[in-house]
Structure 1
């Protein structure tokens, strides 16, 4: 299969041509021929859509159980909270490192093969803990979990970008499915872990391995062509890639703070543990639902959208570290969650529109790396600044990590 592709265009014009490429050998899920070729784009096969989202749900359920059971299991084995934190941080670091290499991997393997391998690795990583509990097993499990998470989500995003489906709508649905899994999984994991950690890991392993089956019905596009100009620094010269990167940086920072210092800020404001859990869940729910508001945002409207919702996220995040009325903080978190849902979709839309098809894997990888780095970097940055107080520390981190999305993606800063 080869693509008859013009020189890359910026924005919506390039996106239109990318979707209207001619598939010579007829491989894949169907013809992508568009108006320029006298045809109409065929809808993605139903089994492709069902397979992708079913696999994502099973992977998220397995991950959700593991997220709760793993650190508690480490402590239950007599190890300190510091060790548990280091292992979780190690897994996150492996995930970022793996994401940074996936552009090259997808020039050797099809991205759908990467998805299938990720489901297998997830099942094996937690299955190991059913039989072993030593430090070596814990380290290996953490590392393999990081590899699996990086491969699964990046592979799925690339699968969507390479399909004839609407990228914004499909990404929004993927995020929604992942959120459902990450709401049910932790609750189930906590209940099972009360009786037996090994039982929780066994369930997570079985669910993870079951997730292999749906991935086998995905279309198998060929590996990306080996071309020049695909280094990350080269791609970052492209303004669309930069827009997607800054959006991903903001998403990672928000997610990192929502899981660390946002609950602390709510506690300082007088919220109960139950109320904090509900507020965080509502913020996550808002992020999952709001992504659908971005389904029609493409081309020249993407960068202004990132700037607009980046500004909302910045204001919302800046408030949560201060001892303000709980109602105000709650409203800010819901607004911020909704904005993040939009930014998650716009980030992938921006990078996928900005480059030639053979560079889309690298572009999506950049967005994933940016998000992964700030997911762990934002809490670390706040921790380093706590000497000035929680509110000012969160504000400083928000300005540094979320501010660029609001500033640099505005049209006046986005001209070449």
Structure 2
């Protein structure tokens, strides 16, 4: 319960910052391009930090890493409370990205060690995290009326609560990396490659929800409130999917992973197709926008599918690993997800120089789904 409380506190702080940092940047006079750069900076920092996680998990207890990541976020958010200069924003985003990478992997390894049902423990961690990230933006929006620095202070409090809770968590030894075959060996293992691909597929979905899907919704004449509710519905569907799979039998995990990954990418393609059919490939037409219910159904389905992958893919990776390889397995799965969170929006952005948004989304969805048709099947021949 202490570990879940720490996850919740960290997630509330993160959820507050998700809304407060862009608003703080805009309020300080920075443009949309700068806000996008700051988001990309955090994503890049998260991806690069994940590459070092196997080494960190082999040298430090996961409880220590959880405390370190919470402290990094505390410092980053605290800087923004007192200073909004661009270098401070960049430093805060680097610290936030590193903190997210370390926290989520180390909290997952802490949850599954020494338990017979890792899926249940991963579901509990992710549900606690989802609850925090859903509450955080609402809290930030409420406090923003008192001042954006006040809202950022709430993020600082969340990080501080996580720091204070970590000494009460179980102390577990670091992973023995001499008993692990390493990341590349794991990636060649049956099931781990599928789990990593699925993690990337889930990352593609959530990266689009946070970037280009809102662009489609805006150009479909949906207002900010409607878009906010649609995204909240998608995130809620992911949490519901997690809860429904808490007691799933181990033998069904690989099936759930494949269905979830393909489901998320299919939903992404369907959002693009719906916009293509109703408003044209370049948004310039006067045709009526698709009804909100179409987008609602697709976003709920995509959120549920991606929510399934969020827990089932890391669980699948750990089920294929030995006890001292579980840290490497979770790090590997998380690295693929972080790479997709960073790489997918960048890829779409690059494609926009040669094609419209809707074809670009379809191409990215197809490219992300392609490997899933091949990996994991060659061994059955």
TM-score (norm 2): 0.89
The answer on whether the counterparts of 1:291 and 1:341 sit within 8 Å (CA) in structure 2 is: yes
Choose 58-67 or 78-87, whichever is displaced more.
78-87
The answer to whether the aligner puts 1:415 opposite 2:380 as a matched pair is yes
The answer to whether the aligner puts 1:198 opposite 2:154 as a matched pair is no
Q: Which has the higher helix share?
A: 2
Alignment partner of 2:59: what SS? coil
**C-alpha deviations, 1:134-157, integer Å up to 9, x for none?**
333222211111111111111111
CA distance in 1, matches of 2:174, 2:364: 38
Of the candidates 341, 352, 361, which is equivalent to residue 394 of structure 1? 361
Alignment-derived partner of residue 333 in structure 1: 299
**C-alpha deviations, 1:215-249, integer Å up to 9, x for none?**
22221111111316543222211122112101100
Alignment-derived partner of residue 225 in structure 2: 274
Of the candidates 82, 87, 92, which is equivalent to residue 141 of structure 1? 92
User: Displacement, 1:67?
Assistant: 1.5
Of the candidates 132, 135, 141, which is equivalent to residue 83 of structure 2? 132
The answer to whether the aligner puts 1:121 opposite 2:64 as a matched pair is no
CA 110–133 in structure 1, closer or farther in 2 if over 3 Å, else same: same
CA distance in 1, matches of 2:264, 2:100: 25
CA distance in 2, matches of 1:390, 1:141: 31
Aligned length: 365
User: Displacement, 1:95?
Assistant: 0.9
CA 299–169 in structure 1, closer or farther in 2 if over 3 Å, else same: closer
User: Displacement, 1:73?
Assistant: 1.8
Alignment-derived partner of residue 167 in structure 2: 216
Alignment-derived partner of residue 311 in structure 2: 345
Choose 307-316 or 54-63, whichever is displaced more.
307-316
The answer to whether the aligner puts 1:360 opposite 2:311 as a matched pair is no
**C-alpha deviations, 1:278-325, integer Å up to 9, x for none?**
111111100011013333445443322222222222221111123243
Superposed, 1:205-284 pairs within 5 Å as: 205-227=156-178, 230-284=181-235
**C-alpha deviations, 1:356-412, integer Å up to 9, x for none?**
11111111001111111111211222222234322221111111124434x2466x4
Superposed, 1:86-165 pairs within 5 Å as: 86-164=37-115
CA distance in 2, matches of 1:77, 1:208: 23
CA distance in 2, matches of 1:229, 1:61: 34
For structure 1, the 5+ residue unaligned runs are 1-49
Larger radius of gyration: 1
CA distance in 1, matches of 2:181, 2:145: 48
TM-score (norm 1): 0.82
**C-alpha deviations, 1:318-348, integer Å up to 9, x for none?**
1112324332332122111111111111111
Alignment partner of 2:115: what SS? coil
CA distance in 2, matches of 1:234, 1:66: 37
For structure 2, the 5+ residue unaligned runs are 279-289
